[in-house]
Structure 1
């Protein structure tokens, strides 16, 4: 088994890449390839774009393994062709550069978005049914990767990781917005609060990628990554109360009333042209159960360093209790 040391992290200036780089920087010889400068690791960063073949060819010289994190992922990307230019063609470009430089190991971060909406606890064998351009482009990128792997399966190593929504310190995404709303004390629970939400703490995602970086054997592997057990909305409110030592009002609104309010904001948004934090779609998503099977990830030998509750506590303490911050945050959905 080869002991890989030279690693190229592509798209690693963001939320997950920063945490991963900090975790493994003492163990590997790292380079970051990204279109933006890493705020914490500028000396490791080479500026470049996955759409530029020549830049990739040069950056992969002397490397032994790749972690591909680069992606267009926000809901409002325009034009939509960017999803495919970056997520699909960018993946092809990376693989071409790997072949030119004799690199045979890649870890790719995909997404549970490949399964689509309203699926019942899908595992890795569940049929793909992506509903948006992000999910479709991630699935197409996976297909490109599998085609590459199948050309030389005895020597190539492909690991695909499909995380659920990722949260953690410095992230500014949907989980942060929800925690902020709960912590404000102005939170109103729509429904009974018994619906479960799959989440993944960034510290565990980084550790999971590191675990598979150290598994250097050839082969094809695909994993959903979710921190288990899932919490329901009532559990999440209780965690905020415990971590912040703060009583959160326990007002519950029936689902029909929440949806009525959401439709009201939809109409107001159309009339005024403004976007509001409340909408019928957001109310529906809030009340839905979103769960994915992650038994394969948690039975492969990996041990998550944090429980989901610990990850939430760390995030809540950093965001809402810690006084001194450097102002560096990462935007995501």
Structure 2
């Protein structure tokens, strides 16, 4: 089987009902590629976008369901993951991300599928680097998500190494945002819109981010071409982040301007703000609620330096169409038109399939 994605392929998108999966159909249609989806939840169609040829409701921990879903497919894109930073026990990260990877490999082998793109994460690098990590930086994950994503990479690398005809394309994106995403960037926009946000610290920390349209186009740009010569330990790995990075202060300023709001001149010092958030940490711990204000969220936005190198994917000739600033403006526009009043439920994987 060919390892370059073409219009002759039929693609199975694992996790295809999620945020990134919702941005794939138009790009796949542009390339003439049919796709199926496999997800815990039903596919939520986007008006005007193509529908999957076949939808399967299933869990990647269910090998039988996964194997049946791959019938007739020639390539697999794995977006399925336990990834929320709240409410998922370590055993579920392990069973979904690592156990799921073993099942994906077994199901592909059952059908002779040799073409796989795996959506990993920059979380495999950990934090505290003197220079922005690139694909040659030794991984040092610090949480269950990063640890299990790295372990899944190992499962897929072993699969690829067992057959010369097999292609494994691994993408490690930074924080992904855009319309229909309800994670941290959405929470920031909503807090500013509701006048519940107070800037903290100098805001000079850089934040690598990826606008979802650019990420999807980057994946397809690389996958529809032969494997590149630049690899890490013999494997095809690409970080993805839109450049140049913005500082957290710049991100906040773009959101204020896009909402037509005046940015406050007052900025609280970091240390008192972190201490003031400690009661929210206790409430979150006792109630199990995912609160928008915690000391960890304050540190992540206002102090944590999360910058990652992404030169390798640019070297393939890919150029993103949408700047980070324009991407933030587009997300704010979606928020004002649809997202402000949208009812969102976090789709957490069950502890058992």
TM-score normalized with structure 2 length: 0.85
Q: 1:34 to 1:323 in 2, by over 3 A?
A: closer
CA deviation after TM superposition for structure 1 residue 327, in Å: 4.0
Checking the alignment, whether the CA contact within 8 Å between 1:15 and 1:330 is kept in structure 2 is no
Show the counterpart of 1:289: 305
Q: 1:214 to 1:189 in 2, by over 3 A?
A: same
1:139 paired to 2:150: yes
Distance in 1 between residues matched to 2:180 and 2:258, nearest whole Å: 17
Q: Render the CA deviation track for 1:235-287: whole Å, top value 9, x for unaligned.
A: 12321233233312121112232233234544677799977543332322222
Q: 1:283 to 1:152 in 2, by over 3 A?
A: same
Q: 1:30 to 1:239 in 2, by over 3 A?
A: same
Q: SS at 1:211's partner residue?
A: helix
Q: 1:273 to 1:242 in 2, by over 3 A?
A: closer
Q: SS at 1:67's partner residue?
A: strand
Range with greater deviation from structure 2 (156-165 or 267-276):
267-276
1:306 paired to 2:322: yes
Q: 1:93 to 1:277 in 2, by over 3 A?
A: closer
1:248 paired to 2:248: no
Name the count of aligned residue pairs: 331
Checking the alignment, whether the CA contact within 8 Å between 1:173 and 1:331 is kept in structure 2 is no
Q: Render the CA deviation track for 1:173-207: whole Å, top value 9, x for unaligned.
A: 01111122233344211111211111111111111
Distance in 1 between residues matched to 2:97 and 2:182, nearest whole Å: 22
Distance in 2 between residues matched to 1:302 and 1:39, nearest whole Å: 29
Distance in 2 between residues matched to 1:206 and 1:22, nearest whole Å: 10
Gaps of 5+ in 2: 46-50, 229-233, 349-353
Q: Render the CA deviation track for 1:186-239: whole Å, top value 9, x for unaligned.
A: 421111121111111111111122223312559831111111111112212321
Show the counterpart of 2:331: 315
Show the counterpart of 2:78: 68
Q: SS at 1:12's partner residue?
A: coil
Checking the alignment, whether the CA contact within 8 Å between 1:115 and 1:129 is kept in structure 2 is yes
Checking the alignment, whether the CA contact within 8 Å between 2:190 and 2:340 is kept in structure 1 is no
Show the counterpart of 1:35: 40
Show the counterpart of 1:115: 125
RMSD: 2.7
Range with greater deviation from structure 2 (116-125 or 40-49):
40-49
Q: 1:238 aligns with which of 253, 259, 265?
A: 253
Q: SS at 1:25's partner residue?
A: helix
Q: How does 1:45-64 map to 2 (within 5 A)?
A: 45-64=55-74
Q: 1:162 aligns with which of 162, 172, 193?
A: 172
